Amino acid sequence: MSATPSAARLRVESATIGYDKRTISEHLSVEIPDESFTVIVGPNACGKSTLLRGLARLLKPSAGQVVLDGADINSYKTKEVARRVGLLPQSSIAPDGITVADLVARGRYPHQGFLRQWTDDDERAVLRAMRQTSVTDLSGRLVDELSGGQRQRVWVAMALAQHTGIMLLDEPTTFLDITHQIELMELFTDLHQVGHTLVAVLHDLNHAARYGTHLIAMKDGAVVAEGAPDQVVTAELVEEVFGLRCLVVPDPVAGSPQVVPLGRDRTRRESTTHA
Amino acid sequence: MSAHVDFGRRALVLRRGRIAVRLPFRPLVVCAVLAVAIAGMAVLALMTGSYQLTPGQVLSALTGRETGIVHDVVVDWRLPRVAAALVFGAALGVSGAIFQSLLRNPLAEPGVIGFSQGSYTGALIVILLVDGTYTQLVGGALLGGMATAVAVYVLAHRRGVQGFRLIVVGIGVSAMLESLNTWLIIKADLDEAMSAAAWGAGSLNGVSWDRVVIGGACIAVLLLLAGVANRPMRQMELGDDAAASHGIRVAPVRLGLILVGVALTATVTAASGPIAFISLVAPQIARRLARTAGITLAPAALVGALLCLASDHLAQHVAPTPLPVGVITVVLGGGYLAYLLFTEVRRRP
């Protein structure tokens, strides 16, 4: 946790963010605690991806500002922002015929120049990123030939090779099966533990509560609640934010709050009761 | 020393002073082979004609050791045409490479945003309605092409320009202009229609030193710009969001690349009429030869130059009657298109 609230490296100050004429969030103020694994949750179209795009400087607030390291993020040179904040976009495209190492190396772009394209530092950063994401053995393979889970790890490696303290993850687990989802969440936990500040948009509340250290719940473009998962994930809040009646019980393995939807009466089995 | 990254492809790593580059082997070798093939093709083109020469005569004429008729034939008659084929072919190859990279589509070239049809419309209007001089014709063609490209860009613009919408709008506008062009030709009398068709086929006939020098200078500047934009361009192949998060200002870079791509084709069109299909075919042939990830400019330029030179040679000397080079490139392009469709169909049963 940061010492004083205003000292957070990345924060949003009463910003209005949206697309062209459509405003998604007004007077939005959010902080990303340093060295946290922050997860933004909320129903579809609540503005969580919009917030992430604002934090990544992909969207410019029409009022207010996004502050990075004490200055308006729009006052930096684009490459400077790219050396401090990384992004794993929701959809990326691997060029035809690209190998894993080549794709990971593309993450080094903000550190390179016209004549400085492949330094020792670049090589070290790429090796480390591939090791951290366990894709070293795939290094020379074509990205087209990989499975969905492997491919997503390669994209994470590319973002890691960028070597930024802060990493933004836009729905990183969406297209993966459950095993690869868990594998990826655990990879993020590892990265968080070695000092990365992570900000993820996730759909799965249980993953958010289990792996996140700081939750931001959004609805209709505004922040409804934020704080530690234990405080944020309550039955009342889930009903308020998602309109879903549910029971919140401790996850039997991790102890984090777990959301169990109540659903309609007939979805319950005869023998099951709840307090 | 520390371990090295295995890229799956061998490369030459140069690190000296402020320079640190990684040059994959295969594209380097491919470029070298292409350069040799181009040199050989150029010598053949300089030898061939109604006054047949030996390779030795050509080489000594080029190095200034010949005088009289051999020098005149090589340097004054044949060299401008060969130089034009090389420079214009390279320009078309790079122009196509830029568009295919930006739109992430192997069928993209400046034609998709209406440039070719628009420039033909401009030229037709000058030939048929104004009965203008050659300079006016070039001006009309450039104006028509540029105006169409701008119109397509503006029509496709909604919260920034997206590749797919650009292609769809481009196809629509091109189809409209094509019918307009047909109508204009039907309305014209026979002589005018024939000179319009001759221009429209794209030919290196009558390309003189001054046109080569002016065109070549423009193209040199544009190729330099394309070279500088090469790395951001390849980064943008990863998607707009990824590129932006790597520190690229996507919108201005894309606009700049479109301008360079259109200007390259425009310069060639101004000097020789529209030479079709090289910009479509060259980048894809280059990519398959060099086996690079995505599109790279240097091999595309060299393949474009070789294709244009070889096509012009076929058009002049192998065809039963001398043809405009554009006729040969259309045949080549048609074959390539058929091949592409054939393999695509086989890949997705």
The position carrying tokens 């047909």 is B182
pLDDT beyond 60 at A275:
no
DSSP per-residue string spanning B266-290: HHHHHHH----SHHHHHHHHHHHHH
- Quickly state the pLDDT bin for A3 (edges 50, 70, 90): very low
Residue A267, pLDDT score: 63
CB contact under 8 A, B8 and A141: yes
CB contact under 8 A, B294 and A83: no
Q: Is any Cβ of chain A less than 8 angstroms from the Cβ of B288?
A: no
Chain A residue nearest residue B246, CA to CA: A82
Phi first, then psi, for residue B209 (nearest 5°) are -55, -45
Question: A with B: how many residue pairs have Cβ under 8 Å apart?
Answer: 132
* Closest Cα in chain A, distance from residue B279 (Å): 19
Average pLDDT over residues A63-86: 96
pLDDT beyond 70 at A236:
yes
Question: Are A14 and A63 contacting, i.e. CB atoms less than 8 angstroms apart?
Answer: yes
Domain of B199, CATH number, reads 1.10.3470.10
Which residues from B are below 8 Å from A82, CB to CB?
245-247
Residue A1, pLDDT score: 45
| Domain region containing B296 | 11-347
Residue B348, pLDDT score: 53
- Quickly state the pLDDT bin for B87 (edges 50, 70, 90): very high
Examine residue B5 and state whether it is found in any structural domain, yes or no: no
Contacts of A44-48 with C-beta under 8 Å, sequence gap 24+, read A46/A218, A46/A219, A46/A220, A46/A221, A46/A241, A47/A17, A47/A218, A47/A220, A47/A221, A47/A222, A48/A201, A48/A218
pLDDT beyond 70 at B320:
yes
Residue B344, pLDDT score: 66
Residue B332, pLDDT score: 82
Write the residue in A83, A95, A158 that is nearest to B293 by C-beta. Answer: A95
**Average pLDDT value for chain A:** 92
Examine residue B147 and state whether it is found in any structural domain, yes or no: yes
Number of domains in chain B: 1
Examine residue B272 and state whether it is found in any structural domain, yes or no: yes
Examine residue B163 and state whether it is found in any structural domain, yes or no: yes
Chain A residue nearest residue B159, CA to CA: A20
Q: Which residues contact A234 (CB under 8 A, 6 or more apart)?
A: A248, A257
What is the tens place of the pLDDT at every residue in B140-188?
888 998 899 889 988 988 777 777 788 888 889 989 999 999 998 888 8
Average pLDDT over residues B72-90: 95
Average pLDDT over residues B91-117: 88
What is the tens place of the pLDDT at every residue in B237-289?
999 999 999 999 999 999 999 999 999 998 898 888 888 889 989 999 999 89
Residue B1, pLDDT score: 43
Residue A270, pLDDT score: 60
CB contact under 8 A, B242 and A87: yes
Which residues from A are below 8 Å from B287, CB to CB?
96-97
**Of A144-158, A227-241, A260-274, which gets the smallest average pLDDT?**
A260-274
Residue B323, pLDDT score: 87
- How far apart are the C-alpha atoms of A93 and B241, rounded to whole Å? 10
Residue B337, pLDDT score: 74
Q: Please say whether the structural domain A5-267 has been given the CATH code 3.50.50.60.
A: no
CB contact under 8 A, A19 and B245: no
- How far apart are the C-alpha atoms of B262 and B96, rounded to whole Å? 9
Residue A271, pLDDT score: 56
Examine residue B60 and state whether it is found in any structural domain, yes or no: yes
pLDDT beyond 90 at A31:
yes
What is the tens place of the pLDDT at every residue in B17-39?
889 999 999 999 999 999 999 99
Q: Which H/E stretch holds residue A6?
A: none
CB contact under 8 A, A87 and B241: yes
Question: Which 218-237 residues of chain B touch chain A by CB within 8 A?
Answer: 228, 231, 234-235, 237
* Domain limits, chain A: 5-267
Residue B29, pLDDT score: 96
What is the tens place of the pLDDT at every residue in A70-81?
999 999 999 999
Q: What sign results for the dihedral spanned by CA atoms B187, B189, B191, B192?
A: negative
Burial pattern B260-277, b for ≥16 Cβ within 10 A else e, equals: bbbbbbbbbbbbbbbbbb
Examine residue B322 and state whether it is found in any structural domain, yes or no: yes
